[in-house]
């Protein structure tokens, strides 16, 4: 509709100014009308219109309909030449979005938006009629601030978002008159220096959520920040010149504080200036603040439950006395100058401790272990994750807490091995053990009676000796990757359901080792080049719970001389990188009456795999990749095997 310049009464199907067209219309959108300039309407039209959108109409210059009494949402988007005034009587409006309409801004300095209409006797009050309003402004390059007259005309404003308004230097003279504003978000306003001209009263008194992002010139926050009793969440991101917070502590009701990528920030709010017993902070996240060296003196609020600190490369210490907090989660990552944790115990409420990428860290918090001589109350730690700490050499004295359910240790080259004496033999809740890049580990402790999931990767000195693993009877999942010293699979894992083995070059598979795993549902063996046992001797037909079988990089030359019998329960079968394989007849695929997915890949010499009887009708997915000779035989209407493919849809 590029040629339309005027939308007149004919659009309504009427010629009278007093007609009442579109009485049932609820949503109306004009979009991509490049020449549209003028809109004429009947006085009583659009009486039930709830949503009006005008997008990509750059030349629209006349007024919009004025009596849209039911309108709930109005959006004007990407109309760069538009100077059209906003409607003034919108008693039901809840959401107003103005995006990339820079020439509308001069009108706002003298324009008073009136959301009220006269209230007749017996009707609802104006307060009932006009509930909260959402105002979103984006791409207003000429906006330097919001005028007080305009703000006073929005007494029910609840949410205000301003994005990408490069000329904005301050939001307003003060935040008075916006008593209902609960949420404020400002992003991409590079000239913003302060929130208000009157710094002490820069924000509305009842503000609950404040987010400031990508405001490169913002150097300070309102001095009276701590006095905003309703503020519960504060987010500051990508403000490169922000140096510090006001020195009077946290707002009393602040529950969540996030500070991210503030390159100049050197200090945090000092919680010692407010009574920690009345602070409500529960969540504190600090990331990418390279100028931050330490936390302020004094304890954190006792209400704090979650602490996340990451990519603060010059941070040398963590808060003292963290044990008095109600912390449940501590997550410290990529703090390359951090050497250790504060001495003493951990909070009794702590459940999750994650430490990663701290290359100078030399010691772990004492509270992760129980020792009779440390005279501390144990915490209820359940998840312990330690990764990429190359300077870490040892654990604290004692035994791991009996409450631990999961331990993950990754790329800690100098760390002492975990030993059997570090666990409680008769009170051990550990269910998950994940070990990556742990060269000092030589064996798995034989006391983990409740262990269900074991993952081992790049542990070149680890051996699995059956005589040392008799206690792992609860194990249901085992993954071994790139462990050159593992030569056998213990046959004592009777409850194992998931077995995955990758790149264990010295593994020698014996038939009885697999045949004893009668609960096995998933078996993956990939790139284990030392397996010489013919497939026909694996005895997988006895595994009547097996559903998924994936074998790759198997190089035995006599694998297809005898049938490789599989249980009829197999649902997914994948054969990959069998370089010498020329036929899959030895698999007896027609017997697999539950098979739904078959994948054949990277078998360059494979020429035929379909039995005379074809495949089971249950097959719904067939994938052939990297098998040029086989693909030719399966081409529809051309290949020799195409008539023997399943007739059901795939």
Q: Pick the last residue of a domain from 87, 111, 138.
A: 87
CA-CA distance, 213 to 387, in Å (whole number)? Answer: 31
Predicted confidence at residue 299, as pLDDT, reads 74
Model confidence pLDDT, tens digit, residues 351-410: 999 999 999 999 999 889 987 655 455 688 999 999 999 999 999 999 999 899 999 999
Residue 272 belongs to a domain: no
What's the whole-number average pLDDT of the chain? 82
Averaged over 507-532, what is the pLDDT?
Answer: 87
pLDDT band at 124 (very low <50, low <70, confident <90, very high): very low
Q: What is the maximal distance between C-alpha atoms in the chain?
A: 96
Predicted confidence at residue 455, as pLDDT, reads 95
Higher pLDDT among residues 104 and 210, named by residue: 210
Higher pLDDT among residues 433 and 424, named by residue: 433
pLDDT band at 114 (very low <50, low <70, confident <90, very high): very low
CA-CA distance, 255 to 285, in Å (whole number)? Answer: 11
Identify the weakest region by mean pLDDT among 403-412, 481-490, 632-641: 632-641
Q: Pick the last residue of a domain from 87, 118, 139.
A: 87
- The number of domains in the chain is 2
Per-residue pLDDT at 280 exceeds 80: yes
pLDDT band at 557 (very low <50, low <70, confident <90, very high): low
Model confidence pLDDT, tens digit, residues 533-542: 888 888 899 9
Identify the weakest region by mean pLDDT among 198-212, 258-272, 444-458: 198-212
Close Cβ partners of 175 (under 8 Å, ≥ 6 residues apart): 181, 195, 196, 201, 202, 203, 204, 205, 207
Predicted confidence at residue 512, as pLDDT, reads 78
Residue 400 belongs to a domain: no
DSSP string of 36-101, one letter each residue: --EE---TTTTTT--EEEEES-TT--SPPPSB-TT--EEEEES-TT--PPPPSB-TT--EEEEES-
Residue 617 belongs to a domain: yes
Predicted confidence at residue 353, as pLDDT, reads 97
Per-residue pLDDT at 415 exceeds 70: yes
CA-CA distance, 645 to 615, in Å (whole number)? Answer: 6
Predicted confidence at residue 646, as pLDDT, reads 52
Predicted confidence at residue 642, as pLDDT, reads 53
Per-residue pLDDT at 650 exceeds 50: no
pLDDT band at 648 (very low <50, low <70, confident <90, very high): very low
Count other C-beta atoms under 10 Å from residue 540's C-beta. Answer: 22
CA-CA distance, 426 to 420, in Å (whole number)? Answer: 12
Q: Which residue has the tokens 């105002």?
A: 135
pLDDT band at 558 (very low <50, low <70, confident <90, very high): low
Predicted confidence at residue 160, as pLDDT, reads 92
pLDDT band at 426 (very low <50, low <70, confident <90, very high): low
Averaged over 509-514, what is the pLDDT?
Answer: 79
Residue 353 belongs to a domain: no
Per-residue pLDDT at 115 exceeds 90: no
Higher pLDDT among residues 272 and 291, named by residue: 291
Per-residue pLDDT at 605 exceeds 60: yes
Per-residue pLDDT at 150 exceeds 80: no
CA-CA distance, 286 to 242, in Å (whole number)? Answer: 14
Residue 163 belongs to a domain: no
CA-CA distance, 66 to 39, in Å (whole number)? Answer: 12
Averaged over 319-337, what is the pLDDT?
Answer: 91
Residue 403 belongs to a domain: no
Predicted confidence at residue 254, as pLDDT, reads 93
Q: Pick the last residue of a domain from 56, 87, 118.
A: 87
Identify the weakest region by mean pLDDT among 204-208, 217-221, 423-427, 566-570: 423-427
Residue 35 belongs to a domain: yes
Averaged over 306-326, what is the pLDDT?
Answer: 91
Predicted confidence at residue 452, as pLDDT, reads 94
Predicted confidence at residue 561, as pLDDT, reads 61
Predicted confidence at residue 101, as pLDDT, reads 84
- Most confident range, picked from 82-91, 247-256, 535-544, 624-633: 535-544
Burial class (CB in 10 A: 0-12, 13-18, 19+), 207: buried
Domain that holds residue 8: 1-87
Per-residue pLDDT at 134 exceeds 80: yes
Residue 596 belongs to a domain: yes
Per-residue pLDDT at 612 exceeds 70: no
Higher pLDDT among residues 385 and 557, named by residue: 385
Model confidence pLDDT, tens digit, residues 9-50: 767 665 555 557 777 889 999 999 988 888 877 767 788 889
Averaged over 134-163, what is the pLDDT?
Answer: 84
Which helix (H) or strand (E) element contains residue 433? strand 432-436
- Secondary structure letter of residue 24 according to DSSP: S
Q: Which residue has the tokens 């994940």?
A: 434
Q: What proportion of the chain, given as a percentage, has pLDDT over 90?
A: 36
């Amino acid at each position: 509709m590029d040629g339309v310049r005027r939308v007149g009464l004919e659009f309504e199907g009427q010629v009278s100014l007093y007609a009442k067209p579109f009485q049932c219309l609820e949503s109306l959108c004009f979009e991509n009308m490049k020449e549209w300039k003028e809109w004429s309407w009947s006085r009583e039209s659009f009486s039930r219109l709830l949503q009006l959108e005008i997008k990509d109409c750059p030349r629209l210059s006349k007024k919009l309909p004025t009596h849209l009494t039911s309108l709930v949402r109005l959006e004007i988007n990407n109309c760069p030449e538009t100077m059209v005034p906003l409607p003034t009587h919108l008693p039901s409006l809840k959401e107003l979005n103005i995006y990339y309409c820079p020439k509308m801004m001069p009108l706002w300095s003298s324009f008073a938006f009136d959301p009220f209409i006269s209230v007749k006797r017996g009707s609802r009050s104006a307060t009932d009629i006009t509930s909260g309003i959402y105002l979103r402004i984006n791409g207003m390059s000429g906006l330097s601030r919001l005028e007080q007259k305009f703000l006073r005309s929005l007494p029910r404003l609840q949410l205000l978002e301003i994005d990408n308004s490069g000329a904005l230097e301050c939001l307003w003279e003060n935040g008075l008159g916006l008593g209902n504003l609960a949420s404020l978000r400002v992003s991409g306003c590079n000239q913003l220096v302060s929130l208000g001209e009157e710094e002490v009263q820069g924000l509305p008194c009842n503000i609950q959520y404040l987010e400031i992002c990508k405001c490169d010139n913002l150097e300070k926050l309102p001095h009276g920040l701590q006095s905003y009793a309703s503020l519960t969440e504060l987010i500051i991101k990508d403000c490169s010149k922000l140096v510090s917070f006001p020195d009077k502590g946290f707002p009393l009701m602040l529950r969540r504080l996030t500070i991210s990528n503030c390159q100049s920030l050197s200090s945090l709010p000092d919680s010692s200036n407010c009574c920690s017993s009345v602070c409500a902070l529960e969540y504190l996240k600090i990331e990418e603040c390279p100028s931050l060296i330490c936390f302020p003196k004094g304890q954190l609020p006792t209400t704090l439950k979650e602490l996340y600190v990451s990519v603060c490369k010059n941070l040398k210490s963590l808060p003292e006395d963290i044990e008095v907090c109600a912390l449940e989660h501590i997550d410290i990552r990529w703090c390359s100058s951090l050497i250790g944790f504060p001495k003493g115990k951990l909070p009794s409420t702590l459940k999750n401790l994650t430490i990663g990428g701290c290359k100078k860290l030399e010691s772990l918090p004492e509270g992760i272990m129980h020792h009779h001589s440390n005279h501390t109350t144990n915490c209820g730690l359940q998840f312990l994750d330690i990764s990429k700490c190359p300077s870490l050499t040892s654990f604290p004295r004692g035994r791991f807490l009996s409450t631990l359910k999961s331990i993950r240790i990754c790329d800690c080259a100098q760390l002492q091995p975990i030993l059997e004496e570090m666990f409680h033999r008769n009170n051990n809740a550990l269910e998950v053990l994940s070990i990556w890049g742990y060269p000092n580990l030589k064996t798995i402790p034989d006391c983990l009676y409740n262990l269900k999931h074991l993952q081992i990767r790049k542990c070149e000195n680890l051996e699995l000796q059956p005589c040392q693993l008799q206690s792992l009877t609860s194990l249901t999942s085992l993954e071994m990757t790139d462990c050159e010293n593992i030569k056998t699979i213990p046959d004592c894992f009777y409850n194992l359901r998931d077995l995955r083995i990758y790149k264990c070059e010295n593994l020698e598979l014996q038939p009885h080792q697999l045949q004893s795993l009668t609960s096995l549902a998933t078996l993956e063996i990939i790139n284990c080049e030392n397996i010489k046992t013919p497939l026909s001797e694996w005895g997988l037909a006895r595994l009547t719970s097996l559903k998924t079988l994936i074998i790759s990089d198997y190089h035995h030359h006599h694998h297809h001389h005898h049938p490789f019998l599989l249980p009829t329960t197999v649902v997914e079968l994948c054969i990959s990188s069998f370089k010498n394989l020329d036929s899959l007849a030895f698999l007896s695929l027609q017997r697999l009456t539950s098979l739904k997915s078959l994948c054949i890949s990277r078998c360059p010499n494979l020429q035929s795999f379909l039995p005379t009887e074809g495949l089971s009708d249950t097959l719904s997915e067939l994938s052939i990749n990297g098998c040029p000779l086989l693909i030719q035989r399966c081409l529809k209407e051309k290949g020799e095997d195409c008539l023997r493919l399943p007739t059901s849809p795939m």
